[in-house]
Amino acid sequence: MEEVAYAKINLALHVRARNADGYHSIETLFAFAEEGDLLRVTPAETLSLEVTGPFSTQLGAAEDNLVLRAGEALGGRYQVSQGAALTLDKRLPVASGIGGGSADAAAALRLLVRWWGLPNEQDVLLEIARGLGADVAACLRSEAVRGTGRGDKLAPADGERLRGTPLLLVNPGVPLSTALVFAGWDGVDGGSLRDDPAKDRNDLEVPAIKAAPVIKEVLDLLGSLPGATLNRMSGSGATCFALFDSEAQRDGGATRIADSHPQWWTLPTRLR
């Protein structure tokens, strides 16, 4: 069996407060790409993980991976005695604002529920997901949702109007620490999300650009592409994205960026 760990996109992100526990209260509109990392499972007596793919060398030891923590938490909750040999094809950049480990952990939960024949109890899975990280709950759903609190309190969003929208992801090859970017937030509460993400913002862009000025270059270039209707940084960066009117315009933009900045990572896809 296999499961896609869909790339997460923050169409808008407001930081509302810095909390005493070190976390931040946010409001965000999550959406997800049709593509991402790929997780496979085969029979085994124990739970294990092998990491392959173009970005596998950017990860630490496999035994520290969030995928294994997800499997251990799920197996412990349901007292599973069966094993699973997991292989993660790491296709997305690491520490890049598009879900990464959170999406991988969520994919592990979805995959192992099927593999182990467990009940698909969403309340239980969401509880496990929230214990693994702030974004894992949204990644478990992998559909357009609004997130509040740490981003793990979810409410429905109008995903139908977003589904199928041509999307281009661009990462300049600069990993960013989420903690560093959040620490650079100016502390000003800009209020709630707007109804239209095109008229909204990501409050983390300013501190992220301060930490990695190349992000502004990416955003400016995306904004100059014909047919781009929205360009923004996702999460805490450094991956940026643009939405397009058509797939042809998206593909033209991807070609233009690949030609002018061949060292940057690009992924032409769509919102799911």
Q: Which residues contact 20 (CB under 8 A, 6 or more apart)?
A: none
**200: Cβ contacts below 8 Å, ≥ 6 apart:** 11, 12, 14, 29, 193, 194
pLDDT (tens digit per residue) in 86-108: 999 999 999 899 999 999 999 99
Residue 230 CB neighbours (<10 A): 19
- C-beta separation of 270 from 176 below 8 A: no
Is 8 part of the annotated catalytic residue set?
Answer: yes
| Chain mean pLDDT for the chain | 96
pLDDT at residue number 63 = 66
143: Cβ contacts below 8 Å, ≥ 6 apart = 32, 159, 272
- What element of type H or E holds 216? helix 214-223
**What does the pLDDT average to over 3-14?**
98
Residue 157 confidence (pLDDT):
95
Q: Which fold has domain 166-270?
A: Alpha-Beta Plaits (3.30.70)
| Percent of the chain predicted with pLDDT > 70 | 99
pLDDT, tens digit, for every residue of 216-238? 999 999 999 999 999 999 999 99
**Catalytic-residue membership of 199:** no
Q: Does pTM top 0.85 for this prediction?
A: yes
Q: Which fold has domain 2-156?
A: Ribosomal Protein S5; domain 2 (3.30.230)
CB atoms under 10 Å from CB of 90, counted, come to 22
DSSP 127-167: HHHHHH-TTHHHHHH-S-EEEETTTTEEEE---TTTTT-EE
Q: What is the pLDDT of residues 12-65, one digit of tens each?
A: 999 999 999 888 999 999 999 999 999 999 999 999 999 999 999 988 776 679
Q: Is the pLDDT of residue 139 over 90?
A: yes
Residue ranges per domain, the chain?
2-156, 166-270
- Selecting among 37, 89, 104, 135, the annotated active-site residue is 135
Per-residue pLDDT, 144: 97
